[in-house]
Chain A
Amino acid sequence: AQKITQTQPGMFVQEKEAVTLDCTYDTSDQSYGLFWYKQPSSGEMIFLIYQGSYDEQNATEGRYSLNFQKARKSANLVISASQLGDSAMYFCAMREGFGNEKLTFGTGTRLTIIP
Chain B
Amino acid sequence: ETGVTQTPRHLVMGMTNKKSLKCEQHLGHNAMYWYKQSAKKPLELMFVYNFKEQTENNSVPSRFSPECPNSSHLFLHLHTLQPEDSALYLCASSPRGEGLKEQYFGPGTRLTVT
Instruction: Report which A residues bind B (CB closer than 8 A).
Output: 4, 31-33, 35, 37, 42-47, 50, 52, 91, 93, 95, 98-99, 101-108
Contacts and interface: CB of A to CB of B under 8 A. Distances in A.
Contacts, number: 61
Interface string B97-114: 101111111111010000
Contact of A105 (B40, B43, B94): B43
A60 B31 CA distance: 26
A32 B99 CA distance: 10
Contacts of B106: 44
B102 A47 contact: yes
Secondary structure at the A interface, as helix, strand, loop or mixed, is strand
8 closest residue pairs by CB, A with B: A33-B100, A45-B105, A105-B43, A43-B108, A47-B102, A44-B107, A105-B42, A43-B107
B45 to A, nearest CB: 6
Contacts of B94: 101
Interface in B1-50: 31, 33, 40-43, 45, 48, 50
Contacts of B104: 47
A47 B103 contact: yes
Contact of A98 (B90, B96, B99, B105): B99
